[in-house]
Amino acid sequence: MIAQLIFIIILAAAVYLFSKNVGKVRRNILLGKATNRSDSPAERWKVMAKVALGQSKMVKRPVAAIMHIFIYVGFIIINLEVMEIIIDGIFGTHRIFSRPLGGLYDLLIGSFEILALLVLVACVVFLARRNVIHLKRFNGVEMTAWPKSDANYILFIEILLMTAFLTMNATDHKLQSLHFSHYIQAGSFPVSGFIAPLLPSGAGSLELVERGCWWFHIVGILAFLNYLPYSKHFHILLAFPNTYYSNLNTKGKFTNMASVTNEVKAMLDPSFVPEAAAEIGRFGAKDVTDLTWKNLMEAYTCTECGRCTSVCPANITGKLLSPRKIMMDTRDRVTELGNNIDKHGKDYTDDKSLLDHYITREELWACTTCNACAETCPVNINPLEIIVEMRRYVVMEESQAPGSLNAMFGNVENNGAPWKYSQADRFNWAGEGQ
């Protein structure tokens, strides 16, 4: 009963802390402006099933895709085993699913063990890719000590959890063969069976190892759950809503501001009367609160995989822009705002902004708006939306566009085209060869 009580207290504390931290992330996301992403629900479910559940965009890099699928499937299916452990911990039972499931239970435990081994292999491969091979896309100015350490922590934690799971099963298997205490004959152990000969032979020592691994495994999972909101690994939860609320419009399609649209229509047609008075706010985005909640959700969903930066033509040619950095900076800034609210209240201002304090103007103007970053992201994140909104602020609020763009704006205003020639002279080139 003491063990059960301790477990219930740990479980309740873990769930409470996780809920509290998730609530803060939700609060931070809702600091963004409203945007409607509730249209076409059938298409949205299809996108989510294909991209988030089906991992369709991962297959463009086969090695990473296969290793990720091992971890992804293992994470989902092994959670069934976690359910059994939690129920056993609460009620003081042991392998409670074994009797109702019968022979299927052996198949499940055997499958869990094979998946656990595949997860171990994938984690080792990913560690090697990051720390031995040093793949280029895992580096960059934004990949400071914490992002690199965070990725390694996640992989090490998963290795420890899977090792504890297999060791727990190995000792359980050995205790079953000894018909010791409550260790009933249940489960199939195709992987942990190879570990069993390495374990002690005494029943008392085996039980001590089994209980130790059981506690380490389940408490480790609960601790990892509470690590997620602080980690890039939070994408395992946000990937599904993020893909569901994807922008279904053609990539690169600009959004119009109602206040500007109404003004232009009134200039073209003096008799035009807008249907409703448009709320005039800031043009574009200077800080994260000027972005939409979907932009902020994407910032928290970013896996920092670097696929976007690896295909960015500006970055490839040595420009300062890194789409991954745009998302990481956005997440860091909105998290900073959330921390300020917790410490000083919602009316506190720190005289900082996403523009200049996090993202430089050189980064913004290096973007070619080619949409390569949005196209390659495995969870449909779109850094271009943030870049365009910040450019809109620089141009419309500050009139600080680069000289080449100002010249183009002047030509459009005076000549109706980006070129310096008047409309009457545009076709002169056709007669030069005659």
More reliable by pLDDT, 403 or 382: 382
| Domain 258-415, CATH | 1.10.1060
Separation CA 416–CA 71 (nearest Å): 55
Say which residue, 344 or 432, is predicted with more confidence: 344
Nearest to 116 by CA among 170, 65, 56, 64: 170
- pLDDT tens readout for residues 138-190: 999 999 999 999 999 999 999 999 999 999 999 999 998 888 888 888 888 99
Provide mean pLDDT across the span 90-102.
Answer: 88
Which residue type is seen at 191? V
CA distance 275 to 242: 32
Counting residues of the chain whose pLDDT is more than 90, the rounded percentage is 62
Closest by CA position to 334, among listed 309, 353, 360 = 353
Domain ranges of the chain: 2-30+61-244, 258-415
Length of the chain as a residue count: 434
Best-predicted range by mean pLDDT (82-91, 270-279, 287-296): 287-296
Cβ distance 250 to 369 under 8 Å? no
Q: Among the listed ranges 132-141, 177-186, 348-357, which one has the minimum average pLDDT value?
A: 177-186
Would the pLDDT of 98 be above 80?
yes
Instruction: Categorize the per-residue pLDDT at 276 as very low, low, confident or very high, splitting at 50, 70 and 90.
Output: low
Whether 432 has a pLDDT exceeding 70, the answer reads no
* pLDDT tens, position by position, 21-75: 999 999 999 999 999 999 999 999 999 999 999 989 998 888 888 999 888 888 7
Query: Does residue 434 surpass a pLDDT of 90?
Result: no
Distances (CA, A) of 24 to 19, 29, 222, 225, 399: 9, 9, 19, 15, 36
The pTM of the full predicted model, rounded to 2 decimals, is 0.89
| Residue 277 scores a pLDDT above 60 | no
- The pLDDT score that the predictor gives to residue 334 is 97
Residues above pLDDT 70, as percent of the chain: 98
- Contact assessment for residue 19 and residue 229, using Cβ atoms and an 8 Å cutoff: no
Q: Across residues 222-250, what is the average pLDDT?
A: 93
pLDDT of residue 366: 95
* pLDDT number for residue 170: 94
pLDDT over threshold 90, residue 255: no
Residue 303, CA distances (Å) to 231, 375, 381 in order: 9, 15, 10
- pLDDT score at 372: 95
Residue 278 pLDDT exceeds 80: no
- 253 confidence band (pLDDT: 50, 70, 90): confident
